[in-house]
A and B are shown apart, each in its own frame.
Chain A
Amino acid sequence: MPGTTIEQEIEIIVEDTGGGGGKPPARDGGGDDGGGKRRRPWNPSPRRYYTGVTLGILSILMFFMALASAFIVRRGSSSNDWMPVHIPAILWLNTAVLLFSSLTLELARKRLASADLSGFRRLWTVTTFLGLLFLTGQILAWRQLIGQGIFVATNPGSSFFYVFTGLHGLHLLGGVGALMYVALRNFERAKLTRQVAAEIVGHYWHFMDALWVFLLALLYLGK
């Protein structure tokens, strides 16, 4: 099999040269760019995932706070071109769905903690489904507004409505992807356990939940 031999050759080459253009005796973790890493077992603590997601949440929060400030300032500075958007009733239903999904997610994690894997899978799937239901509901709300002739560019009020819901939906879609990842991934040989992954995704999901409540309140009170 020529293919495999080539693969092996690559491995050998990478192992041997170990330092690009040839270097003097390498220091620890130093000159050997490509090859050294391969030999080295690299197992940093799984805590980095917590920290990473926490910081990610912080920057997303900052992002939406900046948008919220733009909303407040724009609302305050415009005298005549601002028309309040009447929030479609379906949004309240969506909110209930999203809040309920946070509950099912926590229940699923409880099942996982008591080693009930099938129960976990069931509730986790329900959570994923509720998340998708929320997104569908948001699209329905958009369609309702479009039906009333309110588009993105109609006036600043409607622009903010679409931008807030759209960007939040995009972030939530990422959350749905993460839920699916936790459900489908085989964790036997992974660097982190399913419990840890579920907990981290849970943090993100609850954050998205709270963020939505904040945005809805902003849109409702600030119209």
Chain B
Amino acid sequence: MAYYESDGNAGRRVRPGAWPVIPRVFARRYLFSKDHKTIGLQYLGLALLCVFLGMAMSLLLRVHMAWPNAGGGLLGSMMRGLGDSPERYAALMLLHGSLMVFFVLTAAPQAGFGNYLLPLQIGASEMAFPGLNLAALWMTVVSAAAMTGAFFVAPVIGVKLWVASVAIFSLAALLGAINFCVTTIDLRAKGMTLPRLPVTVWAWFINAILSLLIFSIVLAACALLLADGFLGTQFFRGAFGASPAANWQRLFWFFAQAEVYVAMLPCFGMITHLLAMGARRPVWRERAVVLALCAVGLLGFCIWGQHMFATGMDPGKPLLFGVLAASLGLPASCLLASWFGTLWNGRMRLETSSLFVLGFISLFLTGGFSGIILARHDIYSLRGGNDFVSGHYHLVMGVTATFAILAAVYFWFPRLFERRLNEGLGKLHFWLTFAGVYCVFMPMHWMGLLERGRAGAELAYVGGGHAGGWSLFISGAALVTVAAQAIFLVNLVGGLWRGERVYVCNPWRVTTLEWMPATPVAERQNGASAASAAVVVHRGAYEFDESGNMDDYIPQYISPERVASQHASKMR
């Protein structure tokens, strides 16, 4: 193709007018592009930045718990930089939590992958409102910056700034949710009926509806909290009055509860999709899976929303976390049944993305089972559900969702950048992370160290007395796990820079529209540009032939006539 030459030409053409042109082209194509693919990548970039920041913070917290008196060296000086008080410790914890929950777990699966892939998977050329999409992106970025800034200013202003940035984030999420819903409802390609939608699209769509409802409530709560903070009203008595450390935590958990479902739904969708693609089998009981996803959304809204209405959105009255987790039980077991049904007799291709999918399922099972046991034990024996939250929340929500995101990265990387990630490094990354995560969270669960996890920042801060061998082991395992992420970073940079190029359009040989090849050049020259040749969908999203031939899949865009003719030519 002519792209190599055109690339060179472009370089030569820019030079004459270089100064004014380059920044402007850059701004238009990258900073303020309304293209859904660029925006999706920008969300993913933001998530990547936040995940590494958040991980560094958690490491700092963990190191502090194991070696509270680490005075010397770089770490010690960083500790002192925190201000060295329980309040700062709580604030750092909040910053870690909010970056991870809002900008990684919520933004990456939905806004990142969703923006990039949803229009492609339904055969639309753009989101419904590209301008709105761009606005939402920049509001999210502003919100991330403000949240980080809230950590560095005085706590009195910091809390307000934090609430304001949650409000901005919610507004951005609302705009994004409207965009997703309208795109799915109105912009589907011809023939893309609802039953033919890939499960990923279903998940993004249901999640968008859920976000629409939930983030409106969060926004209202933020509005009242801000009125309390700035206008001196008393909607929530004492919301800003208690000790700052307790206040940070209370506010955070109040908002983070809403995110459980919003973060998990798209992950469920992606996992179901990738599992079918990896196992080369249709999703087992696809319709039940879609219904289960709907149930997750419905339960999420009913339980969280009902609680908010019943307490008048008082952040002082956090919902018992166990109730939220338990409500996931039924639809989650439906999903698990479908995953095992898909795996049954399947010949799973063990690429890195599939490994992460299996890792997700394993962690989800362990987390779910231990959750049931621990929920009963902890909620009754500790004060309130909140203490039980930290460890379990990390395992079930944080780590599993991260596994889903990583699986998606490995799977869609060739589509995003037309290059491959290194499989060897990817597998090393998977095994180290998988083992590390179990080493960190299993002892935490069984030793009951969890109790200390969030039993109040003061306790954790003084935690030196408890630091036994296991705590050292956990901290060491956490260090190894975080270090393993460096492999991912190396792989990512290496893949972007000089990863193996992918010249085929559909390297994983799967069925959905985002892997559709271009219209043949001849057709394009005949006036029918690639775009105006409209996409027509002929079949469901998971049509695999289980006989195990080379052509064991039929993509959605292949017409029955083409299948018949191919079949005929094979017979001959």
Contact = CB atoms under 8 A, between A and B. Distances in A.
B265 interface: no
Interface string A147-168: 0000011011001100100010
A159 B532 contact: no
B1 A14 contact: no
Interface string B218-254: 0111011001000111110000000000000000000
B117 to A, nearest CB: 12
20 contacts: A18-B6, A20-B29, A24-B501, A24-B503, A25-B1, A25-B518, A33-B29, A48-B129, A51-B186, A55-B181, A62-B212, A62-B217, A64-B220, A69-B312, A69-B313, A70-B220, A74-B312, A155-B234, A156-B233, A159-B227
Given A13-B14, A17-B10, A27-B518, A56 B235 contact: no
Nearest to A159: B233
A112 B472 CA distance: 76
Interface residues of A, number: 64
A41 B220 CA distance: 40
Interface of B: 1, 3-4, 6-7, 9-10, 13-14, 16-17, 20-21, 24-25, 28-29, 33, 35, 37-38, 120, 124-126, 128-129, 174, 177-179, 181-183, 185-187, 212-213, 215-217, 219-221, 223-224, 227, 231-235, 308-314, 415, 418, 501-503, 505, 514-519, 529-533, 535
Nearest to B25: A10
Nearest to B33: A34
Interface of A: 2, 5-6, 9-10, 12-14, 16-20, 22-31, 33-34, 36-37, 39-42, 44-45, 47-48, 51-52, 55-56, 58-60, 62-67, 69-74, 77, 81, 152-153, 155-156, 159-160, 163, 167
Given A13-B25, A66-B216, A153 B124 contact: no
A66 B1 CA distance: 57
A45 B182 CA distance: 11
Given A28-B518, A30-B415, 19 more contacts: A9-B14, A25-B3, A27-B515, A28-B516, A28-B519, A28-B533, A29-B530, A37-B35, A39-B531, A40-B529, A44-B128, A48-B187, A52-B129, A66-B216, A73-B314, A74-B235, A81-B234, A163-B227, A167-B223
A9 B13 contact: yes
A39 B35 CA distance: 13
Q: Is the interface of A mostly helix, strand, loop or mixed?
A: helix
A152 B126 contact: no
A34 B28 CA distance: 9
A48 B128 contact: yes
A31 B1 CA distance: 13
A11 to B, nearest CB: 10
Contacts of A56: 178
B220 A13 contact: no
Given A27-B505, A70-B220, A70-B224, A62 B213 contact: yes
Closest 6 CB pairs of A and B: A73-B312, A40-B531, A62-B216, A153-B232, A66-B220, A159-B233
Nearest to B38: A33
Contacts of A44: 124, 126, 128, 186-187
